[in-house]
Amino acid sequence: MTLRGAALIALALGVSGAVLPTIAPAQDASAGRMVFAQCSSCHSTDGTNGTGPTLKGIVGRKAGTLAGFRFSRAMRNAGFDWTPQLLDAYIADPQKTLPGNLMPFSGVVDARQRADLIAYLKSLR
């Protein structure tokens, strides 16, 4: 699919075209588990909260709503569900995507690593 085609689909779906083209075609959950290693000091995948909320079940969850975790005001007021496209944008640059969030992480620059990480996060049900 061309970038123009992706943008047209994004417009038809009401999704920002600036978000869709950043997702790389790779989606290797095993590789994503390795990328997750840099997240694991704050986030779990087993349902327990730590410094950051658990990422188990993150895909499809409304931002800032996980019971038992105290989210920043920005996250509580985000008003969106975590889609793969929003996760991609957030993982790339958390502060740009959601100004005022408290996650002290500069982001994952590599689009393939983000796609793999999102594939891994999707597998955490």
* Tokens, residue 52: 């950051």
Model confidence at 21: pLDDT above 50 = no
Tell me the pLDDT band of 117, cut-offs 50, 70 and 90.
Answer: very high
Please report the pLDDT score of residue 11 as a whole number: 45
Which sign does the torsion angle of CA 75, 81, 86, 88 carry? Answer: positive
* Tokens, residue 116: 């793999």
Please report the pLDDT score of residue 27 as a whole number: 84
Q: What is the mean pLDDT of residues 21-28?
A: 61
Model confidence at 2: pLDDT above 70 = no
* Tokens, residue 101: 């969030």
CB half-sphere exposure, 99, CA atoms < 13 A: 1
Model confidence at 19: pLDDT above 80 = no
| Residue range 56-113, pLDDT digits in tens | 999 999 999 999 999 999 999 999 999 999 999 999 999 999 999 999 999 999 999 9
Average model confidence (pLDDT) for the chain? 86
List the domains of the chain with CATH numbers.
Answer: 27-122 (1.10.760.10)
